[in-house]
Structure formats: C-alpha cells, structure tokens
A and B are shown apart, each in its own frame.
Chain A
Amino acid sequence: MSPVPLPRAAQGLRGRAASPAVVLPLLTAVLVLAVWLGTSLGSAPLPLSQSFAAVIGQPAPALVRDIVWELRLPRVIVAGAVGTGLAVVGCVLQGLFRNPMADPGVLGVSAGAGLGAVIAIYAGLGAVSLWTLPGIAFAGALLTALSVYALATRGGRTPVLTLLLAGIAVGSLLTSGIGLVMILGGETQVQTMLLWLMGGFGGETWQQVGIAVPLVLAGSAACFLFARELNILATGEEAARGVGVPVEWTKRILLALCALVTAVGVSVSGTIGFVGLMVPHMLRLVVGPDHRRLLPACAIGGAAFLILADLGARLVIRPAEISVGVITSFLGVPFFLYLLRRQRAGLGG
C-alpha cells in the first residue's frame, strides 16, 4: 500500500483519543488476565495453584494438565481469535459502511454460515467428522458473501449502501431458510441447531486452533494494512478518490477479508452476536476513531472480551454451561439500544 495523505476532515480523527501507549498495554494486560482466568476457572473445580502450574508448564496432576491443556487452553485461544476477528471485522465494516450499526452480520455471512450449519445438522452430517459442520458452514458463509457482493455490484462499482441493503436482504432470506430447516428438523436436531446458532466454544480442540486461528488472525492483521484508507473512506468515497485511494479495489479487498474472517470464526464457534458491534464502539470511545489505533485495540479488546464472556458462560450456572452468545447478547442488546438512543439524540429525534 502506498501511503496516502489524510484529507483535512480525516485529520480530525486524531483528536479526543487516549494515548495508544497507555491503552494498548492496558488492553494487553486485560487480555493476559482473561487468558489466565479462562484457563484457571471452569466447570471442573480445579485448585487455582494446580491449574496455574499446568498453564506455565510446572508439574501438575495429570487430570489438571489434561483439562487445562486439552480443554481450556484450546478453548481460550479459539475464543480469543474469534473475538479478535469479530471485533476487527465490525470495526472495518463500520468504517467502510460509515454506519455505526454495521457488524459482521450485515453481509449476511453469519446467516449463510448458520444456514449451512443447520442443513448439515438436518442432513445428519454433523457427526460425520469434526470438520463437516464447520466446513459446510464456511462454504455457506463464503457463498453468501459472494452472492451479496455480486448482487450489489453494477458496472464494476459496489456502492456501500447497496451492499448493506443486499446483505440485509440476503441475510433475512437465509434466516428464514434457517427457520424452515428448523421446522423440518427433529427435536434433537433443533436443539443441536439452536446450540450451534447461539454460539460457543465447548468443543474446541487443538486441531481447530491449528486451522482456524491462523486464518482469523492473518485476515484480521491484513485489515490493519488498510487503516489509513479506512480513515480516508470515513470522509466519503469521492473525497477518498480525490486523494488517490483506489476505492473499489480497497472495498473489494476489505470485504473479502471481512467475509473470510467472519466465515472462519462463525464456522468454528457458531454465530456470536454483538461482539463486532460493541467492542469497536467501546474502544472508539477510548482510543478515538483513527483506525490505526482502533484496529489494534479492537484486536486485543475483542479477544479479551470474548474470552471473558466465554468464561462467564462457563461459570454462570456452573457446572453446566450456557452458550456464550447468550452472554454477549445480554451485554450487547442494552448497548445496542443505548447506541440507538444516542444516535437519535444526536439527530435531534
């Protein structure tokens, strides 16, 4: 990427921000704490000293080692990576669409993954192998992203508003498809579908860590390269073109990255709402709207947030677990309503 100077309007992004030198280490400390708590606490009541010893590779009973290394650590890593991915994608899409309500669901990708997953469960493919269900969910997500993009593109241009509307329309259609498959499914299948749709990290293994985490993190990191362009796009596409930003190319690449990260994340964890909406907004209040600060903050903050939400899901009705999507929704819906009211107030509504 060739450096592009910020237009005057975008230079205002530098104001009202806490210093990254303070915020990023602070967020990193929260992330480290979240990882420690996530590996130390869970449905099995292990002594904290033993689980900590297991985490740092010190001698610990075999059972503790197994639970910490084979169950909790993969779970925490996948939750962290998915949290990073969702938060970064939410941040990118909010910038790209210049819409504070945008999140990883707006492209219909989550609904596409969801439809793929419920079809897989309905067809009895979920038990074929560990990868069948995530694989079909991933295919559904990517197919949806491509469809939405194709529907919104005319004459080589993809207006963001058209893309947003196409994403919402296709997402609604696919959500109806999910409902239809659930009506056709047996009760046990419906329960499995609901659990998947609500999201969770209960079944994560090192295999998933090995495949999903690098893809999510690489996709998220690639978005960082476009931080400056996102800042400029925040001032409008015409202005961006005026300062030499290849707008359509940038949008295409960013949408592809967002679709990839969301598809991988959703396919391994199910649909987890509100992370991509909340985390960027919360951190925008702290570090300001400059994507060069905001994206790294979202990456770290999203990871910490989802690891802690997953920990909450494990502890709320311990030893049973609830879906992490329930926790994020309980936090996210009030926040979403707050945003709506704030936006209305800003508009004088």
Chain B
Amino acid sequence: MRRFLGVAAALVLLVAAGCGRARPTVRPNPSASTFPLTIIDDTGRSVLIPHKPQRIVSVTLGTDEILLGGLVPRARVVGVTKYAADPNESWVSGRVGHIAQLSTASAEQILALKPDLVFVASYTTPGVVAQLEGSGVPVIEFTTFSSVADIQSHILTMGRAVGNLAGAQAMVAKMNAQLAAVAAKVKSLPPARLLYYTSDGYVFGKGTTPDQLVRDAGGVNVADAAGITSWKQVTLGTVAALKPDWLLTGTTQPGFAAKLLRNPVLAAVPAVAGRHVLALPDRDLTVVSQYFSQAVQVVAADLHPSAFGH
C-alpha cells in the first residue's frame, strides 16, 4: 500500500494511451483569475471555488509536483502526499518542507488541514470525495492520465483553479519545448531497443506511460513490439526472449540492476552482455507531471549520450 495515495497517481499512467502526442492549444482565459470560479473537472462535475485558494491539499503525487513545481507559492499548499518528500519518488522532495504529508486519502486527515481546495484522482476512494464535498470543500478530480496531453490538461485546470493560469501555460510551454528539443536530437539516431523491467517482474507495453517515455526518448519498447499491452508480469525467460539492447529498471529495490547483470539466464541478452542496464529513480519512470519532459531528457541522454554531449 506504500504508494497508494501518491505514486498511484503516477502508476495509473501505466494504462496510459501514450500514442498521441497532440499538445493542447493553450488559450488565455480571461475569467480564469476571477473568483468565484467554476471548474468542470474530469468527472463532469461543476466545482465552485469561491475565492483564490490559500490552503490547498493534494492527494496525488502528480498534483503535488505540479503545485510545488512552481504553480503556487509553497505557503499556499497545506497538504501533500507523503511520497512528495521521497527523493526517489518525487521531483519536488526538496520543496515539501513543513507541509503536512498525508499517508492515506483519509477525509478526516484532509479536513483537519482546513483546506479550501483539494485535488484528488479517480482512484481516491469515492466515499472520501463525497465526504469532502459534503463538508463543503471544493474537490477537483482527475480521471484520465493517458498521455502528455492529459498531463498538460491537468496542469492548465490546476492553473485556473489556483488562479495562476499564466504560470500553468508557461509550465506547459516549457514541457513542449523540452520534448521538442529531445525529439530533434534523437530523430536521426538509430532507435535503442529497450525493455523496462521492474524488480517485481513487470514489463510495460503499449498504452503505458513508460512506453511513451521510451519512444519520446528515442527508443523502441520491445514489450510493445512483442504485442504486450498495458503492464504484465513476465518471467526472466520472456525477458531473455525479447532480447532488449537496453534494460531499464527502477531503484526501489537497491541492487536489482546488479542482480540482472549477474543472472545467467540473461547472460546472452544484448543489454546484459553489453552492460546496458539502467537503474533510474522511480520519479523518472512513473512521473505524471510537468517533469515528464525532464524524465524523457534523462532517459534519452542515457540511451544516446553522444547526442547530449556526454
């Protein structure tokens, strides 16, 4: 249950579509900074925000990162997930400071922070959302985490809700610029055949965020190429049969990458034979915020060091 509240926001992207790269057109909305403000969230509900929120609570890691990544001053955030403070999980761990860290999506914990706006996700217990709404707290729920376009849509919605649409638009523009820069560097390079394999034996195929991450970084996801959709648990034999040139794994279980390198079953796999096993912090692999584009840069630079001046 360790990741339920926060990292789940990122992991839900594992069922992300990821194939579309359409970027939302960002249009200034003059009414965005005028409170009271009504937002239609992903569930179709009208959420009335009576005044510019000063006590914001976030119960997903993705929204933690968007808020603390520069959308609002830290003083306006009163609650984030406990994962926000974990440098392995979060891009904003250094900015959490004394903000309350929520262990679970408990309405009681959230209400005790006296929030005037709460960001939740579709996997937040429905009853908890109803409880918060019943107590008169505006709750904005995000339900789709399917693509970069979804991430950017969330950023813009949050920007409107907190009264900083311009900041949200700048965040989206920066993402697009970073992604475009990576795309320009890797487009003429031979794609690296890569497999993301977790310490608990899962690979990620078509329709997942890691799939998009790999493709945006100039790689080919061999799980996708083998017809694997979503995320599936596979044996080491399958990993060997997929013959990736690169193996990508997280750092949740220290030493896992070294274990892969030592495993005789994988000895003939090009990634292991060539010692191309990348162990990256989970924040790079499960990110669902504006930092996605930075994660793409990190992976691309590892796959194509010469193109990035390394």
Contacts and interface: CB of A to CB of B under 8 A. Distances in A.
Nearest to B43: A127
Nearest to A183: B233
Contacts of B131: 70-71, 203, 205
A188 B108 CA distance: 22
27 contacts: A43-B106, A43-B108, A44-B108, A44-B109, A63-B111, A67-B108, A67-B111, A70-B131, A71-B107, A72-B108, A124-B122, A126-B122, A126-B126, A127-B43, A127-B122, A127-B126, A130-B126, A188-B14, A188-B15, A189-B123, A191-B3, A203-B107, A205-B127, A205-B130, A320-B106, A321-B103, A321-B106
A188 B11 contact: yes
Contacts of B11: 186-188
Interface of B: 1, 3-4, 8, 11-12, 14-15, 43, 103-104, 106-109, 111-112, 114, 122-123, 125-128, 130-131, 134-135, 141, 143, 202, 230-231, 233
Given A188-B12, A195-B4, A319-B103, 5 more contacts: A130-B127, A130-B130, A203-B127, A203-B131, A320-B103
Contact of A70 (B114, B135, B233): B135
Best-surrounded residue of B15, B103, B108, B111 (most CB of chain A within 10 A) = B108
Contacts of A50: none
Contacts of B230: 186
The 8 A-B pairs of least Cβ separation, nearest first, read A203-B127, A320-B103, A44-B112, A127-B122, A188-B12, A186-B15, A203-B125, A188-B8
Contacts of B122: 124, 126-127
Given A202-B128, A203-B125, A205-B127, A67 B1 contact: no
Interface of A: 42-45, 63, 66-67, 70-72, 124, 126-127, 129-130, 133, 183, 186-189, 191-192, 194-195, 202-208, 317, 319-321
A72 B107 CA distance: 10
A186 B231 contact: yes
Nearest to A78: B127
A63 B114 contact: yes
A208 B111 contact: no
A207 B135 contact: no
A265 B215 CA distance: 47
Nearest to B133: A205
Contact of B108 (A71, A130, A187, A208): A71
A188 B230 CA distance: 12
A321 B103 CA distance: 8
A47 B143 CA distance: 37
A146 to B, nearest CB: 27
A133 B231 CA distance: 24
Contacts of A43: 106, 108-109, 112
A112 B59 CA distance: 31
Nearest to A46: B112
Contacts of B8: 187-188, 191
Best-surrounded residue of B14, B112, B143, B230 (most CB of chain A within 10 A) = B112
Nearest to A42: B108
A71 B111 contact: yes
A322 B145 CA distance: 27
A70 B134 contact: yes
Contacts of A129: 126
A40 to B, nearest CB: 12
A124 B43 CA distance: 12
A315 to B, nearest CB: 12
Nearest to B137: A66
A133 B122 CA distance: 13
Contacts of A317: 103
A272 to B, nearest CB: 16
Nearest to A192: B123
B140 to A, nearest CB: 13
B43 A202 contact: no
Contacts of B231: 186-187
A208 B131 CA distance: 11
